[in-house]
Structure formats: structure tokens, C-alpha cells
């Protein structure tokens, strides 16, 4: 093999290139990125960068010297627009044509938007470094924030903005913050934490759209007609995989790039990170949007490009920091799980939960007990990989 082209210059793309080099690959590596910035880390965007604790430059995943030492060509600020699978050639917006023996799709996701938000000042999404910087500037000049979306991102933004002194309202259709990621008990505890810290929860309510006055956002309209007043609105209602550029390529696209257990979408074509939807031996078809998966999947793909031929079978993991809560989740949780607190006490906001489904261990959730959570993770890994 003489060359690898990685389409996407965030954590998954950079880790793919880095893993190839560490494993001895000495062919050409090209990393194509839609953004003009060198690879940077996304988790701090809703926390440290938004709060002003970090300068934007601190999110860089590698120093300029380390990127040079990687021996890869970085083509930035030039999005991919088409892929010829047969020749493994990618065409870019500027008209470049890049060809390689192996192509890795790492184009991530794009935030969803609400009706009426385009063209209104003060309405934000948060995905990129530029998004975070722009949102912070608006928050510093405002008093009232409404966050639409009670998932991980929306909950983190609400917590950060509350810590900055804003009057924050969190709204969305579910009953508690992160209910779909944590399960009802832990999500209820998170809701109580937000309320204790002054965040207004207007949950269990469908959002119709945003409203404005003179080109500036003035509130969020709920489906029942109520308007939540706001100087700034953040829309955090999920994201869609960036696969439009692959339409007509012949790859199977279904809520992401569909891959086998090796993260292979076609001969010589792989997908990693938020855009990849692959066959997990234990959990079925998965697509994970988190930093840990971006790195672990990239390392597995590098192995498979170099001929190892191994299934990617991680125990999924994500974390979130909100106020004084550090929450770690291993496995795939469901609202219908049988949940047992095995360490600590929810009332004290320091506990570990085990999740079972159909008599089988499927997850561990820890709240401010990282060491104990990791210990229970070991048992979960053993249970999931038994007989593998």
C-alpha cells in the first residue's frame, strides 16, 4: 500500500494518521479537513472555552511541531464534495482530486436547526471552535439564555452559562436532562442539581421554533404556545452525520456510513468517529458521538488498514462534567434497564449504578466516584466479552 487519505481533520482523523505512523506505516498520509483550523478537541468547547477558562489555542490536539513530525499532508479549509469508490478518489470543493489506496471517512456530524433560526442574530449551535467563540461573545453581552435540547451538549451549555451568571432556561421534550443517556433515576438527580444551581427546567415540552424582533432573537416558542424570553438561544437538538457528499457513491448510507464489524464500508473504504455506523458484536449496530470512540475506533481502523482484520468491539464510554458533577458511563444504557445502586447514595450525589437488561449486564454509571466506577467497568468488560 502506498497511500492513505483521511477525510476529516478532527480527533478521529488525526488519530487515524497518528496510529498508522506509530504502527510503522511509511507511505503517504493525507488529512483533508473542511475547517481551516488544525485538529482540535471538541469536549472543551461547551465547558472550558465557553466559560473563558481556556484560550481557543489550548484545544489544539498537537503542536505545529508534532504535526510536522507526523509526516502527513494536511489540506485544510477545503471540504470533500464527492467520492469515487472504484478509484478511491475524493474531489474537494476547490476542485482538487485526491486519490489513495485506502480512504477513511471521518467527516463527523452537523448540528440540526430549528425552524426560523436562520437569519436571526443571537441564535447559535455549538459544534466548532468558531461556534464556541461566537457563543461566548454573545453570552458575555446578554442576561437571558434559553437552551433547546436536554441532551449532553445542551445540559453542559446550560451548566456553563449558569456558572457565568446568566439566567438560564433548559427546555426539551424529555422529562429530565440527559434522560436518554443516563436513565430516569440518574437523569432526575441531574435535573435536581441544575435546579439547585438556578437553571430553570421547562422539560417535557415540544419546541415549535424561535421568535425574533427586528432581526434579533427574542425567545423560544413551545408547541403549546408559550414563549420563553431570551437574549440568546442555543439549539442543541442533536446532529446528523455529514454524508451528503457521499450521495451517489455507492456506499450504504443510513443515519451514517454503514460498515461491517471492521468499520469497513467498501473495499479500501473505512469510516470512523461520529459518522460511522458499524456492527458491534455485542451491542448490534451502533453509531457513537463521543470523544473516546473517535480515538479508539480510529486505532482499530488503522490496524485493519494494515492487515490485522479485527472486529471493533469497544465497551462504549462517555463522560460529562456539569457543575460539581463528574458523570462517567460505560456500556449502552436504556430507560428500561434494571438499575441497582452498588456504591454510594444518589441523595449524596456520589454513587455507582449497575444496569442490567434481560438478566445481562449492559452498563455502569458513576457519579463523582471515578475509581469505583472503573472497578465495576472491569466486571462489565468481562461479562460482555465472555466467550468472545
Q: Options 3.30.930.10, 3.50.50.60, 3.40.640.10, 3.40.50.720; which CATH number does 3-110+240-305 get?
A: 3.50.50.60
Three cell numbers at 77?
479549509
pTM beyond 0.85, yes or no: yes
The domain ranges of the chain are 3-110+240-305, 113-237, 324-385
**What does each C-alpha distance from 120 to 167, 173, 215, 218, 221 come to in angstroms?**
20, 23, 5, 9, 14
Rg for the chain, CA atoms, rounded: 21
Q: Which fold has domain 113-237?
A: FAD/NAD(P)-binding domain (3.50.50)
pLDDT value of position 386 = 67
Please give the Cα distance from 354 to 334 (Å, whole number).
12
Given a cut of 50, the residues of the chain with pLDDT beneath it are: 387
Question: How far apart, in Å, do the first and last CA atoms of the chain sit?
Answer: 31
pLDDT value of position 282 = 83
Tell me if 113-237 shares its fold with 324-385: no
Among 10, 7, 34, CA closest to 98: 7
pLDDT value of position 281 = 84
Three cell numbers at 331?
456500556
Let me know if domain 324-385 sits in CATH 3.40.50.300.
Answer: no
pLDDT value of position 2 = 77
Type and span of the H or E element at 208: strand 207-213
Length of the chain measured in residues: 388
Q: Which residues 6+ apart lie within 8 Å of 260 measured at CB?
A: 278, 279
Three cell numbers at 105?
471517512
Q: Residue 230, by phi and psi: left (phi above 0), alpha (psi -120 to 50) or beta?
A: beta
Query: How many other C-beta atoms lie within 10 A of the C-beta of residue 368?
Result: 17
pLDDT value of position 80 = 98
Bridge partners of 103, per DSSP, are 5, 269
Amino acid at each position: 500500500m502506498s497511500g492513505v487519505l483521511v477525510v476529516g481533520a478532527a480527533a478521529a482523523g488525526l488519530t487515524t494518521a497518528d496510529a498508522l505512523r506509530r504502527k510503522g506505516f511509511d507511505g503517504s498520509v493525507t488529512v483533508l479537513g473542511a475547517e481551516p483550523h488544525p485538529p482540535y478537541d471538541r469536549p472543551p468547547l461547551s465547558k472550558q472555552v465557553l466559560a473563558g477558562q481556556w484560550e481557543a489555542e489550548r484545544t489544539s490536539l498537537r503542536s505545529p511541531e508534532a504535526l510536522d513530525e507526523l509526516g502527513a499532508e494536511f489540506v485544510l479549509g477545503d471540504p470533500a464534495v464527492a467520492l469515487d469508490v472504484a478509484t478511491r478518489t475524493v474531489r474537494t470543493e476547490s476542485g482538487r482530486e485526491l486519490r489513495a489506496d485506502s480512504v477513511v471517512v471521518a467527516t463527523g456530524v452537523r448540528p440540526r436547526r430549528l425552524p426560523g433560526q436562520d437569519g436571526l442574530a443571537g441564535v447559535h449551535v455549538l459544534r466548532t471552535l468558531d461556534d464556541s467563540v461566537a457563543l461566548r461573545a454573545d453570552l458575555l453581552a446578554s442576561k437571558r439564555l434559553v437552551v433547546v435540547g436536554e441532551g449532553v451538549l445542551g445540559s453542559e451549555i446550560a451548566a456553563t452559562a449558569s456558572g457565568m451568571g446568566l439566567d438560564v432556561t433548559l427546555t426539551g421534550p424529555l422529562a429530565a436532562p440527559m434522560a436518554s443517556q443516563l436513565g430516569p433515576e440518574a437523569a432526575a438527580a441531574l435535573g435536581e442539581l441544575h435546579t439547585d444551581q438556578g437553571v430553570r427546567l421547562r422539560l417535557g415540552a415540544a419546541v415549535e421554533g424561535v421568535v425574533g424582533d427586528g432581526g434579533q432573537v427574542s425567545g423560544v416558542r413551545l408547541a403549546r404556545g408559550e414563549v420563553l424570553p431570551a437574549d440568546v438561544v442555543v439549539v442543541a437538538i442533536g446532529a446528523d452525520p455529514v454524508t451528503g457528499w457521499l450521495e451517489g457513491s455507492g456506499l450504504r448510507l443510513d443515519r451514517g456510513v454503514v460498515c461491517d464489524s471492521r468499520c469497513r464500508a467498501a473495499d479500501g473504504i473505512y469510516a470512523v468517529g461520529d459518522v460511522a455506523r458499524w456492527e458491534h458484536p455485542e451491542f448490534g449496530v451502533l453509531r457513537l458521538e463521543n470523544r473516546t470512540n473517535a480515538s479508539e475506533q480510529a486505532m482499530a481502523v488503522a490496524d485493519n488498514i494494515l492487515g490485522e482484520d479485527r472486529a471493533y468491539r469497544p465497551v462504549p464510554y462517555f463522560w460529562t462534567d456539569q457543575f460539581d458533577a463528574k458523570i462517567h458511563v460505560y456500556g449502552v444504557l436504556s430507560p428500561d434497564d434494571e438499575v441497582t445502586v452498588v456504591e454510594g447514595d444518589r441523595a449524596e450525589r456520589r454513587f455507582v449504578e449497575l444496569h442490567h437488561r434481560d438478566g445481562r449486564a449492559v452498563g455502569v454509571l458513576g457519579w463523582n466516584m471515578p475509581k469505583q466506577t472503573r472497578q465495576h467497568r472491569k466486571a462489565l468488560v468481562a461479562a460482555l466479552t465472555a466467550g468472545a
